[in-house]
Structure 1
Amino acid sequence: MTSTASGHEVVPLEGDELRRQEKDFTGYADLGMVRFNPGRCLFMEPFTKFADKIYKFPVKSSDVYVVTWPKCGTTWCQEIVWTMRNNPNLDNQMAKMPVNGRVPFLEFDMLLKSKLLKPPAPDNPMMQGFQKMCPGKDPSDGVFFQMSEALPDPRTIKSHLPLSLLPPDMLKTSKVVYVARNPKDVVVSFHHHSRLFKGHNYVGSFEDFVQYFVDDDLLYGPYWLHLKEAWERREESNLHFIFYEDLKSNNIEELKKLNRFLETKLTDTQLEKISNYTSFNEMKSRDLVPGDSASDYMNVEVIHKDGGFFRKGTVGDWKGKYTPELEVKIDNWIKKNLQGFGINFKYSTA
């Protein structure tokens, strides 16, 4: 057991607990799994190489961090924030790059270690971007971490880490946009994502996936604790807390709030255009077309059967996905973990 700069103890998963993870998430097999306590945050063992580097990451006053638990509207918010800050007139040629090239995923390197993923070729756009941004740097020291460091100002950076594992001066120095989504839709979306991406390669049942969630045993650990850490700091001037459901139902009003928070000073006309440009259908139309490159890191069978990364993007997609028993199980989880600190999610558009 080792300790980190953030004060967490790193505890390796062993025995039946590890074997269960590796059996159901075959993308994690042979990598090792660890928990960060307190909090029971669950990671692939390669994350330990980056934990202290991330905690000590030099933040800047011009930085904006998009922070969410997985599948809470992260990619959508990345595109919105980057567009508002860097492409308000929709004429920036950089917009043609994948969003993770413009808004690096700070801890993504741990997810690139899976043996089910092909090592990126030198002509891979991600590697070309890395070589251009980080000339002479060693990719084994973290492609996305080093791209985050080298990103020209103003930087917009994404993370799924809880605030307790991010730089302690982040909210004093930089701006953080935190996005929360109702847990019933989160589970359905994360289940699809975990089946789709080979880095996870979930092969278990939906019933078991729900059990992983309520047991706080999914990658990144307890959703409720991740929420709680941000919710308790929502009044701080450098944190902007957004609900996914509000961003869907009242997009322009939420963009206006973001405009004030980010101090981007955009006009109503610019915000209207950005709203359309970052709508689900528009972003889906710009998404990668399944093919050879997609098959390097996605399960193409899942794409053809159930959809790709941009699947539905709706509020209430969970309806009809849970058996009555599973719905009781997740309702009990909500009652136990969320009611105590006052978050009331919207579970449908009605």
Structure 2
Amino acid sequence: MAFPLHIQNVDEDLAQELMEHYTGELTGFVRVGPSGYFLPHKYKEQAKDIYNMPIRSDDTFVVTYPRSGTTWTQELIWLLKNNLDFDTAKKTPLGNRFPYLEFSVLVHPVYEKFMIEENKESPARLSSVQAALLPSAQKAANIPSPRFIKSHLPLSLLPPGLLDTAKVVYVARDPRDAAVSHYHLSRLYRIQGAPKDFKTYWNYLIRGLHHFAPILDHIKEAWKLREHPNLLFIFYEDLSKDLPATIRRVAKFLGKQLTKDQILKLCDHLSFNNFKDNSAVNEMLLGKIDFLVKGEAPFIRKGKVGGWRDYFDAEMMEQADRWLLQNLADSDLRFPSWDLSYKTPSKGINAINVEYIRAKQGRD
């Protein structure tokens, strides 16, 4: 079928401004659909094929806004579906076991050539790079069943029959923490790039001007579908606060039964200290070539809930509260770690909306 959503090029002047920061993009950007999802220009080439990609009944998808617990959840799901095969998990890069669907959309053709050239002397790495760079639908078609697929695209840009056919685990995270983590990742990757200061990045993000944004629309799409039997909606904060309980939830959703001992082994494997030192998780296609910026934070960084407070000044905290209130006033979505930074609504904020949100959170 034809791709049903309007794709519009970002204004050339704005695109040029953004490309000074997002240095991995050399052509421009697009905004997609009513929410105006922000993506590299290359998305236009693959939108229809992704939307029409055949879904298999034994597929398992992890869908998130970037840096929302994606990798953590991928590893958990793969182990649950593969009878806790820790040995294979430790030996095989997660990207090979659980491929990133639209990775090629993010890699400009100029950088594609660099990646292939830099890896040509290592057949194994070259093969992995070439597989990762395949157009999304072709990549998915090449994965043997049962497939495990990661995507940062919102549900509205994925195949419309996805939830009626396959299992989807959606993970959401406090947007402020996700923003800090995505900022560091973008600065780490030369194929993305980010402003030198977080405040500039944040002001672009809340305008929906970063890959896969607007983040709240992304999350609200999944939240509205959380009762669908093939969708499990979980929060990053729950993974962090009570990993055993979240493991049980995911296992039940996937039809798996675990003993107490198996849950303990999973918790140990997935504990943050072990996870950040796991080479199969941290082995990145770009890690052995000159595409990682030296001195930037590693791929697995801190995983801290509420760490955003170290990056927001008072003005940004109030701005973030206002942004959250305005964008969630029409939804009962709440984040487990959300606590308003101020007690009295600031000028310009609808006090009714403030009370509405607080009531939804049991804070009235």
Q: Answer whether TM exceeds 0.5 for this pair.
A: yes
Deviations 1:169-220 (A, max 9, x none): 1100101000000011011111111111111111342111111111111111
94-103 or 19-28: which moved more?
Answer: 94-103
Whether the 8 Å CA contact 1:69–1:180 is kept in 2: the answer is: yes
**Helix, strand or coil: the match of 1:24?**
coil
Of 78, 83, 86, the residue aligned with 2:74 is 78
Letter in 1 for 2:290: D
Of 316, 320, 340, the residue aligned with 2:310 is 320
1:167 corresponds to 2:155: no
* Equivalence for 1:176: 168
Mapped to 2, the partners of 1:174 and 1:289 lie a distance apart of 28
**Helix, strand or coil: the match of 2:42?**
helix
Whether the 8 Å CA contact 1:109–1:145 is kept in 2: the answer is: no
Whether the 8 Å CA contact 2:12–2:28 is kept in 1: the answer is: no
* Equivalence for 1:268: 260
* Equivalence for 1:298: 292
* Equivalence for 1:232: 224
* Equivalence for 2:343: none
* Equivalence for 1:284: 276
Mapped to 2, the partners of 1:140 and 1:187 lie a distance apart of 26
1:44 corresponds to 2:36: no
Structure 1 residues 138-157: aligned runs within 5 Å:
141-142=134-135, 145-157=137-149
Mapped to 2, the partners of 1:85 and 1:158 lie a distance apart of 15
Of 107, 115, 119, the residue aligned with 1:119 is 115
Of 5, 17, 25, the residue aligned with 2:2 is 5
Whether the 8 Å CA contact 2:216–2:327 is kept in 1: the answer is: yes
Q: Quickly say closer, same or farther: Cα 1:292–1:193, change in 2 above 3 A.
A: closer
Deviations 1:130-181 (A, max 9, x none): 77xx7xxxx8752x64332222222110000111110111100101000000
Whether the 8 Å CA contact 2:24–2:190 is kept in 1: the answer is: yes
Mapped to 2, the partners of 1:129 and 1:95 lie a distance apart of 17
118-127 or 46-55: which moved more?
Answer: 118-127
The Cα of 1:25 is off from its aligned counterpart by 1.0
Q: Quickly say closer, same or farther: Cα 1:94–1:249, change in 2 above 3 A.
A: closer
* Equivalence for 1:258: 250
Deviations 1:311-332 (A, max 9, x none): 1011111122101111111111
Mapped to 1, the partners of 2:189 and 2:321 lie a distance apart of 28
4+ residue segments displaced more than 3 Å = 114-117, 124-127, 144-147, 287-295
* Equivalence for 1:54: 50
Letter in 1 for 2:4: G
Mapped to 1, the partners of 2:283 and 2:52 lie a distance apart of 37
Letter in 1 for 2:207: D
**Helix, strand or coil: the match of 1:309?**
coil
Whether the 8 Å CA contact 2:9–2:30 is kept in 1: the answer is: yes
**Helix, strand or coil: the match of 2:168?**
strand
Structure 2 gaps of 5+ residues are 340-364
The Cα of 1:31 is off from its aligned counterpart by 2.4
Whether the 8 Å CA contact 1:290–1:300 is kept in 2: the answer is: no
Whether the 8 Å CA contact 1:101–1:126 is kept in 2: the answer is: no
RMSD: 2.4
Q: Quickly say closer, same or farther: Cα 1:115–1:301, change in 2 above 3 A.
A: farther
Mapped to 2, the partners of 1:124 and 1:146 lie a distance apart of 21
**Helix, strand or coil: the match of 1:176?**
strand
1:200 corresponds to 2:195: no
How many residues were matched structurally?
A: 333
Q: Percent identity?
A: 34
The Cα of 1:94 is off from its aligned counterpart by 5.3
Whether the 8 Å CA contact 2:62–2:74 is kept in 1: the answer is: yes
**Helix, strand or coil: the match of 1:67?**
strand
The Cα of 1:44 is off from its aligned counterpart by 0.8
Whether the 8 Å CA contact 2:168–2:231 is kept in 1: the answer is: yes
Letter in 1 for 2:97: R
Structure 1 residues 91-130: aligned runs within 5 Å:
91=87, 93=88, 95-113=90-108, 115=110, 118-120=114-116, 121-122=119-120, 123=122, 125-129=124-128
Letter in 2 for 1:166: L
Mapped to 2, the partners of 1:336 and 1:245 lie a distance apart of 22
Letter in 1 for 2:322: N
32-41 or 230-239: which moved more?
Answer: 32-41
Calculate the TM-score normalised by the size of structure 1.
0.88
